Amino acid sequence: YKVSLHFKLSEAQKDSPWLVLVHGLFGSADNLAGVKRHFESTYNIISIDLPDHGQSPWTNGFTLEAAVTGVVEILDNYQIDKAAFLGHSLGGKVVMQFALLNPDRVSHLIVADIAPVKYSHSHQAVFDGLKNVPLDAISDRKEAQIALSEYVKEPGVQQFLLKSLYQTDSNEWKWRFNVDGLIASYSQILDWPQSNLTFTGVTLFIKGAESDYINNSYRKEIAKYFPSAKAHIIEGTGHWLHAEKPSVFNAIVARTLEKTAS
């Protein structure tokens, strides 16, 4: 049986509930390691590398559908009927779409700082920065950071991107994510498939107070697809809310995971 996506498994007990973690654009399974550490004694956890990210295969074009199919494969492989899902940013889009297409397989849906809407282009600086790093000419990470910083000004974003820079056995520098592929599929990544599907189970949207990824005008869209959705805003955080205030974030997630569908 073929599972196409790379993932990490952290098993607590045979009969513990399952929690699936899905990272955002340009990330990898490790981005949600803090969440994993917090819950791995009570949950069996699957941390997924999305297609074109981490150690998952590169594709001919990123789509939400293919990502969802990859998640289904992993669940089927372990004969997991139902799991809780937490996704950040692009990973949030993947888990939302998974819940709409497979509502009976989702016990809890937690979406971090993203909405079920089509977004406008906001990653040009990141694309320019990544393309500006001369992989065949750098000798260390510092040189990569300098090249990146000509376009990407925030040190936190630089560090986040550089986590996916690695050296092969033959000392070549490479990005773990598929830079050209993600740039080519960017309109797909921004998009959201319109449908009449709904997920009525326990749903929480967590927003970074200083992030503009979820705003009031998206409330209607959220309610349309996720009629039982609740919202929580974490003060003093931007888009990287789980990394900026991990203990607050994990506490909110824990409270939601304790709820049962009404």
The residues annotated as belonging to the active site are: 89, 239
Evaluate the CA torsion angle 8, 10, 15, 18 in order and state its sign: negative
- Rounded to the nearest 10°, the torsion over CA 194, 211, 45, 2 is 40
The bridge status of strand 229-234 relative to strand 202-208 is parallel
**DSSP 8-state class, residue 53:** S
- Which CA distances in Å does 183 have to 58, 70, 255? 13, 21, 37
Q: 180: which 2 tokens?
A: 């050209």
The count of residues in the chain is 262
- Angle (CA) 210 240 150, round 5°: 90
Backbone angles phi, psi at 89, to 5 degrees: 60, -120
| Residue 112 contacts residue 22 (beta carbons within 8 Å) | no
Nearest to 185 by CA among 26, 4, 5, 7: 26
